[in-house]
Amino acid sequence: MTRLTIDHVTRYDYGRSVSASYNEARMTPVTDDEQVVLEAELTLSPGTATVSHYRDYWGTRVTAFDVQGRHHHLEVRSAATVEVHRPPPGRAPDGLSWEELAVSEVLDAVSDHVPQTALTRLGPELEAVAEDVRAGAADPAAAVAAVYARIAGHMRYAPGVTGVHTDAEAAWREGRGVCQDLAHVAIGMLRHLGVPARYVSGYLHPDAEAEVGATVQGESHAWVESWNDGWWAYDPTNHTALTDFHVTVARGRDYTDVTPLKGMLTGGGGATELAVIVEVTRRA
């Protein structure tokens, strides 16, 4: 078991004042079978925002808010303490055969995560890679392992090369990208093979050797859950099963379902400065 405190601040400073803004924040961790949120608070500046809370279709905790009246900045701070207790890494169960996985009654239960999206769709090059994986995989479990192995052999983590609209095929051709890109590549290949898969966003404590009480620069992160008679998580960026240093915030079909902060505004103009800070402290 590991107890982590995450402090995530996103701040926009507008070049000219904004007359109104409407926003949704998905920055609060969820409680599930492998983690428990002990406390969580989301604060806003300006403090005049009208706020409501709900869970979206995917079960993510959402804070919706609007700020009326002229303002020159927007700051959203999410602070949460989470106790994470994931099982030790090990080989995923063999699961279903290809024939069992293809039964309509089985796929209907996870039908949201079967079709491709604009960000996970494959082009000819990546389709050929997926078909090569399928030809050598005796069952879905072997195919999942082979997909992650192909990604590990072909792609490397490199910030600044891709953007939020980069799809799986473009990221694969580039051979580089951030965690979002590697997750989209994995999901696209898995869905092409007939293995349901979903996108997971959260936080990652980057130092497994950090002392209790030490605060380090953390990061927003993304990984994948594939379905094979149950959901099985894997982090294709770090080539590892999830550990107690992964904290789940949101799940969806791709990044667009889990964007940490999105919205629209009226007014404004000029250069807008964005600052994002994520700090993680190990408590136990």
User: What is d(CA 179, CA 223) in angstroms, rounded to the nearest whole number?
Assistant: 7
List beta partners, residue 207: none
User: What is d(CA 24, CA 214) in angstroms, rounded to the nearest whole number?
Assistant: 31
Residue pLDDT tens, the chain, 284 long: 999 999 999 999 999 999 999 999 999 999 999 999 999 999 999 999 999 999 999 999 999 999 999 999 999 999 999 999 998 876 666 799 999 999 999 999 999 999 999 999 999 999 999 999 999 999 999 999 999 999 999 999 999 999 999 999 999 999 999 999 999 999 999 999 999 999 999 999 999 899 999 999 998 999 999 999 999 999 999 999 999 999 999 999 999 999 999 999 998 878 899 999 999 999 99
User: What is d(CA 152, CA 171) in angstroms, rounded to the nearest whole number?
Assistant: 13
Contact 279, 46 (CB under 8 A): no
User: pTM value?
Assistant: 0.96
Distances (CA, A) of 77 to 7, 202, 283: 7, 15, 20
